[in-house]
Chains A and B, each alone.
Chain A
Amino acid sequence: DADVTQTPRNRITKTGKRIMLECSQTKGHDRMYWYRQDPGLGLRLIYYSFDVKDINKGEISDGYSVSRQAQAKFSLSLESAIPNQTALYFCATSGSRNQETQYFGPGTRLLVL
């Protein structure tokens, strides 16, 4: 079984809809991250969490919110989706000992019409 899982893997939605992307991990890591990837722009950090009570904004947090429901679960919400949020979204985890090696989930492809 994969160590970092994301659901859904693909989603098509309409402008204005609320969307939640979920991430779960079995690696026992404290740190979790949400990124988006756009062609030509690389991965950009949306939010990150170093433990259940710690949530931090990343480079591009506007239009997004997160919830760290448990050590193993970190969800990303788009309260009112817009077309420029169409992207590939990755969740990642890292341990506190080797915090710089991040393990990524398989990604969620989101299309906002």
Chain B
Amino acid sequence: RKEVEQDPGPFNVPEGATVAFNCTYSNSASQSFFWYRQDCRKEPKLLMSVYSSGNEDGRFTAQLNRASQYISLLIRDSKLSDSATYLCVVNTGSARQLTFGSGTQLTVLP
């Protein structure tokens, strides 16, 4: 089983739609959680951290369920510029390394 698993995707949605991505992680000792965004042929960039109480940044909402070892990202009112691959990232281990999911591709259509 992969340490971090994401929805396989790809997701193709119209502008203005709401889309949700899910992610599960296998290491119950994981301490920190993130969503990174990666544009085509570009480097990953931090989108947002995920806190236990849930957090929101504009149109983006991240949720964490430690009991189920589940993380989600909700994007409301999708824009064309949201088209990218979204990487679920978990901090695990004593060395606090980041483990990346394989990503979910989102295409927002006009």
Contact = CB atoms under 8 A, between A and B. Distances in A.
Interface of A: 35, 40-45, 48, 56, 58, 90, 99-102, 104-107
Contact of A106 (B43, B49, B87, B91): B43
A19 to B, nearest CB: 20
Given A100-B34, A100-B91, A106-B42, A42 B98 contact: no
A56 B49 CA distance: 25
Interface residues of B, number: 20
Interface in B44-93: 44-46, 49, 87, 91
Given A41-B102, A42-B102, A42-B103, A104 B97 contact: no
B35 to A, nearest CB: 12
A42 B98 CA distance: 12
Contacts of B103: 42
A40 B100 CA distance: 11
B25 to A, nearest CB: 13
14 contacts: A42-B4, A42-B100, A43-B100, A45-B98, A48-B95, A48-B97, A58-B97, A90-B44, A100-B91, A101-B34, A101-B46, A104-B44, A105-B43, A107-B43
A40 B98 contact: no
Nearest to B102: A42
A100 B43 contact: no
Contacts of A43: 44, 87, 100
B44 A100 contact: no
